[in-house]
Amino acid sequence: MEMTRRGFLIVTGAVGSGVALSTFGLDLGPVRAYAEELDKAKRLKAAKQVTTVCCYCSVGCGLICSVDKVTGKIFNIEGDPEHPINEGSLCAKGAGFFDLTEANKYRLRKVLYRAPGGMDWEEKSWDWAIPRIARLVKDARDKGFVARNAKGELVNRAETIAHLGSSNVDSEECWLMVTKARALGMVYIDHQARV
Amino acid sequence: MKGIELVKLIDTSLCTACRGCQVACKQWNEVPAFRTKNNGSYQNPPDLQWNTWTLIRFQEYEDAGGKFTWLFRKDGCMHCTDAACVRVCPSGALYHTPFGTVGLRKEKCIGCKECVSACPFNIPRYDKATDKIYKCDLCQGRLQDNLSPACVKSCPTGALTIGAREAMIKKAHARAKALGGDANVYGDKFVDGTHVIYVLKEKPEVYDALPVNPHVPLSVMAWKDLLKPLSLVAAGGVLAASFLHYIIHGPKTPDDADNQTKEGGA
Amino acid sequence: MTNHYIDLKNSDCILIMGSNAAEHHPIAFKWILRAKERGAKIIHVDPRYTRTSARCDYHVPLRSGTDIAFLGGMIHYILTENKFFKEYVVNYTNASFIVDSGFHFKDGLFSGYDAKKRKYNKETWVFEKEGSGIPKRDMTLSHPRTVFQLMKRHYSRYTPDKVSGITGVSKENLLKVYAEYGATGAPDKAGTECYALGWTHHTTGSQIIRTMSMIQLLLGNMGIAGGGVNALRGEPNVQGSTDHCILYGNLPGYLKMPTASLDTLEKYLHKCTPETKDPQSANYYQHYPKFFVSLLKSFWGEKATPENGFGYHWLPKMDDGVAYSLMHLFDKMYEGKIKGLFAVGTDPAVSAPNTAKVRKALEKLDWLVGENIFDNETHSFWKGPGVDTKSVKTEVFLLPASASMEKEGSQSNSGRWVQWKYKAAEADGDAIPVGEITIRIMAEIQKLYAKEGGPNAEAIVNLKWDYTDRQGRYDALKVAKQINGYFLKDTVIEDKGTKTEFKKGQLVPTFGMLHADGATSSGNWIMSGSFGANGENKMAKRGKEDPTGLGLYPNWSFCWPVNRRIIYNRASCDMNGKPYNPKRKLLEWTGDKWVGDVPDGPWPPQADKAKGKYPFIMKADGLGALFGPGMAEGPFPEHYEPLEGPLAKNPLSGQLINPAIELFKSDLDKVANADARFPYVCTTYSCTEHWCSGALTRWQLWLLEMQPELYVEIGEKLAKEKGIQNGERIKVSSIRGEVPCVAMVTKRFQPFTIEGKTVHQVGLPFNYGWLFPKDGGDSTNFLTPTVGDANTFCPEYKAFMVNVTKL
Amino acid sequence: MKKGLIKATDAFERIVHWSLAISCLVLCITGLGMMFHSFNFIGDLMGGLKSLKYVHNFTALFFVLALAFSIKMWWREAGVFSMPEDLEWMLCAGGYLWHVDHPPKVGKYNPGQKMFFLTVAFFGVIMVITGFIMWFPLSLPVELVRWMYPLHALGFVVIFAFFFVHLYLGTIGSPGSLPAMLHGWVTRAWLVKQHGKWLEEMEEKGTLEVYGEEKRAAQGH
Q: What is the pLDDT of residue D195?
A: 74
Share of chain C above pLDDT 90, in %: 99
Q: Indicate yes or no: CB of B234 within 8 angstroms of CB of D158.
A: yes
- The answer for C 139-198 residues in CB contact with A (under 8 A) is none
pLDDT grade for D214, boundaries at 50, 70 and 90: low
Q: Are A57 and A121 members of one domain?
A: no
Q: What is the pLDDT of residue C211?
A: 98
Residues in A touching B164 (Cβ below 8 Å): 17, 19
Grouping H, G, I as helix, E, B as strand and the rest as coil, residue C427 is coil
Q: How many domains does chain C have?
A: 4
Grouping H, G, I as helix, E, B as strand and the rest as coil, residue D186 is strand
Q: Indicate yes or no: CB of A24 within 8 angstroms of CB of B4.
A: yes
Q: What is the pLDDT of residue B2?
A: 40
Q: What is the pLDDT of residue B251?
A: 75
Average pLDDT value over all residues in chain A: 84
**Residue A10 pLDDT greater than 60, yes or no:** no
Q: What is the pLDDT of residues C367-402, one digit of tens each?
A: 999 999 999 999 999 999 999 999 999 999 999 999
Q: What is the pLDDT of residues C464-513, one digit of tens each?
A: 999 999 999 999 999 999 999 999 999 999 887 889 999 999 999 999 99
Residue ending a domain, choose from A51, A80, A100: A100
**Touching check for B151 and chain A: CB below 8 Å?**
no
Q: Are C270 and C378 members of one domain?
A: no
**Touching check for B156 and chain A: CB below 8 Å?**
yes
Chains that touch B (3 or more CB pairs under 8 A): A, C, D
Q: What is the pLDDT of residue D174?
A: 75
**Residue A5 pLDDT greater than 70, yes or no:** no
Q: Indicate yes or no: CB of B145 within 8 angstroms of CB of A44.
A: yes
Q: Indicate yes or no: CB of B70 within 8 angstroms of CB of C707.
A: no
Distance CA C403, CA B30 (A): 21
Domains and CATH numbers, chain D: 11-185 (1.20.950.20)
**Touching check for B126 and chain A: CB below 8 Å?**
no
Q: Indicate yes or no: CB of B110 within 8 angstroms of CB of D176.
A: no
Domain boundaries, chain B: 6-216, 220-265
Please give the residue of chain A at the shortest CA–CA distance from C231: A58
Q: Which domain holds residue A43?
A: 2-100
Indicate which CATH number applies to the domain containing C189: 3.40.228.10
The more confident residue out of A22 and C272 is C272
Grouping H, G, I as helix, E, B as strand and the rest as coil, residue B232 is helix
In a domain, A83, yes or no: yes
Enter the pTM of the model. Answer: 0.93
Average pLDDT value over all residues in chain C: 97
Q: Indicate yes or no: CB of C705 within 8 angstroms of CB of B34.
A: yes
**Residue A91 pLDDT greater than 70, yes or no:** yes
Q: Which domain holds residue C702?
A: 680-806
Cross-chain CB nearest to A169 (options C239, C344, C445): C344
Q: What is the pLDDT of residue C593?
A: 94
**Touching check for B73 and chain A: CB below 8 Å?**
no
Chains that touch D (3 or more CB pairs under 8 A): B
**Residue A33 pLDDT greater than 50, yes or no:** no
Distance CA C636, CA B87 (A): 72
Q: What is the pLDDT of residue D4?
A: 75
User: In this structure, are residues A92 and B26 in contact, taking their beta carbons and an 8 Å threshold?
Assistant: no
Residues in D touching B228 (Cβ below 8 Å): 35-36, 153
Q: What is the pLDDT of residue D85?
A: 76
Q: What is the pLDDT of residue D215?
A: 55
In a domain, A106, yes or no: no
Please give the residue of chain B at the shortest CA–CA distance from D136: B113
Q: Are strands A161-164 and A189-190 parallel, antiparallel or unpaired?
A: parallel
The mean pLDDT value for C790-796 works out to: 95
In a domain, C781, yes or no: yes
Please report the DSSP string for B84-140 in residue order.
HHHHH-SSS-EEE-TTSSEEE-GGG-----HHHHH-TT---EEETTTTEEE-----H
Which stretch of A16-30, C138-152, C175-189, D73-87 has the lowest confidence by average pLDDT? A16-30
Indicate which CATH number applies to the domain containing A89: 2.20.25.90
Residues in C touching A192 (Cβ below 8 Å): 234-235, 238, 241, 346, 351, 692
Q: What is the pLDDT of residues B92-145, one digit of tens each?
A: 999 999 999 999 999 999 999 999 999 999 999 999 999 999 999 999 999 988
Residues in D touching B108 (Cβ below 8 Å): 49
Containing H/E element for B134? strand B132-134
Q: Are A9 and A48 members of one domain?
A: yes
Q: What is the pLDDT of residues C633-679, one digit of tens each?
A: 999 999 999 999 999 999 999 999 999 999 999 999 999 999 999 99
**Residue A20 pLDDT greater than 50, yes or no:** no
Q: Are C421 and C336 members of one domain?
A: yes
**Touching check for C457 and chain A: CB below 8 Å?**
no
Q: What is the pLDDT of residue D1?
A: 60
pLDDT grade for D220, boundaries at 50, 70 and 90: very low
Q: Are strands C757-759 and C752-754 parallel, antiparallel or unpaired?
A: antiparallel
Q: Indicate yes or no: CB of B235 within 8 angstroms of CB of D161.
A: yes
Q: Are A34 and A84 members of one domain?
A: yes
Phi, psi of A65 (to 5 degrees): -95, 130
The mean pLDDT value for A84-98 works out to: 97
Q: Where are the beta strands (DSSP E) in B147-244?
A: 160-164, 184-186, 196-200
Residues in A touching B27 (Cβ below 8 Å): 76-78, 95-96, 98-99
**Touching check for B158 and chain A: CB below 8 Å?**
yes
Q: Are A184 and A141 members of one domain?
A: yes
Q: What is the pLDDT of residue C255?
A: 98
Q: Indicate yes or no: CB of D176 within 8 angstroms of CB of B239.
A: no
Q: What is the pLDDT of residues C256-290, one digit of tens each?
A: 999 999 999 999 999 999 999 999 999 999 999 99
**Touching check for C740 and chain B: CB below 8 Å?**
no
DSSP β-bridge partners for residue C372: C400
**Residue C697 pLDDT greater than 60, yes or no:** yes
User: In this structure, are residues C581 and C190 in contact, taking their beta carbons and an 8 Å threshold?
Assistant: yes
Share of chain D above pLDDT 70, in %: 95
User: Minimal CA–CA distance to D66: which of D116, D31, D28, D15?
Assistant: D15
Apex A11 CA angle, A9 and A17, nearest 5: 150
End-to-end CA distance of chain A, in Å?
A: 34
Q: Are A92 and A6 members of one domain?
A: yes
Q: Indicate yes or no: CB of A41 within 8 angstroms of CB of B145.
A: yes
pLDDT grade for D104, boundaries at 50, 70 and 90: confident
**Residue C758 pLDDT greater than 60, yes or no:** yes
Total count of residues recorded for chain A: 195
- The answer for A 112-141 residues in CB contact with C (under 8 A) is 112-121, 125-126, 129-138, 140-141
Q: Are C79 and C199 members of one domain?
A: yes
Neighbouring C-beta atoms of residue D45, cutoff 10 Å: 12
Apex D181 CA angle, D175 and D183, nearest 5: 100
pLDDT grade for B246, boundaries at 50, 70 and 90: confident
Please give the residue of chain D at the shortest CA–CA distance from B232: D157
Residues in C touching B44 (Cβ below 8 Å): 705-708
B6-216 domain in CATH 3.30.70.20? Answer: yes
pLDDT grade for B257, boundaries at 50, 70 and 90: very low
Q: What is the pLDDT of residue B3?
A: 64
In a domain, A21, yes or no: yes
- The answer for B 27-46 residues in CB contact with A (under 8 A) is 27-28, 30
Distance CA D174, CA B254 (A): 8
**Shortest alpha-carbon distance between residue A149 and chain C (Å):** 8
**Residue A23 pLDDT greater than 90, yes or no:** no
Distance CA C673, CA C682 (A): 12
**Shortest alpha-carbon distance between residue A166 and chain B (Å):** 26
Q: Are C699 and C742 members of one domain?
A: yes
**Residue D3 pLDDT greater than 80, yes or no:** no
Q: Are C167 and C63 members of one domain?
A: yes
Torsion of CA C418, C424, C428, C431, to 10 degrees: 30
Cross-chain CB nearest to B156 (options A18, A89, A98): A89
Q: Are A70 and A122 members of one domain?
A: no
Indicate which CATH number applies to the domain containing C377: 3.40.50.740
Per DSSP, B44 falls in state -
Please give the residue of chain A at the shortest CA–CA distance from B142: A41
ipTM value:
0.92
Q: What is the pLDDT of residue A19?
A: 32
Q: How many domains does chain A have?
A: 2
Candidates D89, D149, D199: best to mutate against B (most CBs of B within 10 A) is D149
Q: At what angle do helices A171-183 and C476-484 cross, to 10 degrees?
A: 70
Q: Are A121 and A96 members of one domain?
A: no
The mean pLDDT value for C451-470 works out to: 97
Chains that touch C (3 or more CB pairs under 8 A): A, B
Cross-chain CB nearest to A90 (options B154, B162, B164): B154
Residues in B touching C55 (Cβ below 8 Å): 14, 16, 157
Residues in B touching A38 (Cβ below 8 Å): 140-141, 144-145
Per DSSP, B180 falls in state -
The more confident residue out of A120 and B225 is A120
